[in-house]
Amino acid sequence: MRYAFSTLGLPGTPLDRSAALAAAHGYDGLELRAHPEEPLHPGSSAADRAAALRALTGEGVSVLGIAGYAKVAAPGPDDAVLAEIQALVRLAADLEAPYVRVFPGGAAQAGPEADDLAVRRLLAAAPFAARHGVRILLETHDSHRTAAAAARVLDRVAHPAAGALWDVLHTWLGGESPAESRRALAAHLGYVQVKDVASARELTPIGLGGGALPLADAVAQVPRDGWLCWEYEKRWYPDAAELPGQLARGRAYLVELVAGGAGGAGGAEGAGPAGGPATAVRPSR
């Protein structure tokens, strides 16, 4: 298993500092939030990209994915969405990252029209991504928060350069067990985002293992050659504890789960949050 964390937990931190933290605490990679307020984003110059890659390589840390904000199921013209995805793919290629994250971003309740938009745009973007050696991952989020909803789109796309990013919080909030999520995403899984919260109504990030998410069941579903990425949403919850002091403990917890789990062999049928799907809303990251 390989381990990463998202720079969402270190808002505004210089990339060389994030890379040094990853290396010092045994993380293999970083998921880079690609937003203009961050040190690196699709508008960054070629010189900045090259310097970032040198800094990462120097620490022995790779970029797992570029966490973009393109919304493939959102209403509006295709051209703008496709241009945004292409810019993210170019950034990923320049940083030797295998993945780009996109959101669904459709209506609150995803229907056939949102599915059709997402399928059409992913089909259009996938060949471009493939030529750059990058895979576009649709995150289980917002309008398609469950694995079943994401798979409904990806089954139709059926392109090797399009896959899924499994956010375990959203599938849990959607009422899926980890085993159900893994079955739905079996043909599409790119990597897995882990996190923890106190409850379905209290989404402030806390240390891994200290909350309500069925992380042991989720980790048991991840292939042993896969990636686990800790997405600690400090950017949206400024009162949350600082991430650096939790990095060693968080990785140790994940290593313990991997050692004690099935590593993709099936895992337990942990239930979703009590009372069924939650209605709590959090910001787009």
Report domain extents, the chain. Answer: 2-260
Which tens digit of pLDDT belongs to each residue from 83-127?
A: 999 999 999 999 999 999 999 999 765 689 999 999 999 999 999
Q: Which residues of 209-221 are buried (b: 16+ CB within 10 A; e: fewer)?
A: bebbbbbbbbbbb
pLDDT at 284 over 50: no
CATH number 3.40.50.300 is the correct assignment for the domain at 2-260: no
User: What global pTM score does this model have?
Assistant: 0.93
Q: What is the pLDDT of residue 111?
A: 83
pLDDT at 274 over 90: no
Distance between CA 276 and CA 222 in Å, rounded? 24
**Of the candidates 70, 78, 79, which has an alpha carbon nearest to the alpha carbon of residue 103?**
70
Which tens digit of pLDDT belongs to each residue from 134-162?
A: 999 999 999 999 999 999 999 999 999 99
The one-letter amino acid at 183: R
Which tens digit of pLDDT belongs to each residue from 66-77?
A: 999 999 999 999
